[in-house]
Amino acid sequence: MKGDRIFGLVMMVVALGYLLSASTVETSFLSDPVGPRVFPYIIGALVMICALVMVLRPDPDVDWPGPAMVMTLGAALLALVLYALTIKPLGFILPTMLASGFLSWQISRRPAQAAIAGAGLGIGLYILFKTVLGLGLHGLPRFLMG
C-alpha cells in the first residue's frame, strides 16, 4: 500500500510539471479553434486523477516475484537492449528473429515453436513494415547488401 501511495505522489508531481510545461506551448495564428494546449492538458489531468486514486485507494500489498522470475525478466530486458543495439549493424530481420525467438522461448519453453515464431516474426514484420508501411528498413546487414 505504501508503494502505491509513494508512486501516486511522484506521479502527481510529474503530472504537475507536465501541466506547467504544457502551459508554455505557444499557439500559432494557423492553429485550430481548440489550440495545441488542450491535448497535453487532458493527458496531465488524467495522470493527476489516476495518481490521486492511487494515493486515496491503494491496492493491497502484493508478493514480489522470486529470484528466478527476476532473472527471467532481466534476461528479457537484456535481449531487448541487445536487439536495439544490433538492429542497425545487422539489419532488421536477423535481430528480430533472434529477439522474438528468445522471448517466445521464455514464454513457452518449446524451442521448435520459439524458432518458428522468431523466423515468422522477423520475416513477416519486415515484409509488413517494408511493403505495407513503406519504412526504409535494411533487411540484412549492409556489408552483405553491397
Q: What percent of the chain has pLDDT over 90?
A: 66
DSSP letters spanning 17-83: HHHHHHTTPPPPTT--SS-TTHHHHHHHHHHHHHHHHHHHSPPPP-PPP-HHHHHHHHHHHHHHHHH
pTM of model > 0.85:
no
CB 46 within 8 A of CB 19: no
Please give the pLDDT value at position 29: 66
What is the tens place of the pLDDT at every residue in 10-44? 999 999 999 999 888 777 666 666 667 788 899 99
What is the tens place of the pLDDT at every residue in 70-108? 999 999 999 999 999 999 999 999 999 999 999 999 999
Please give the pLDDT value at position 146: 61
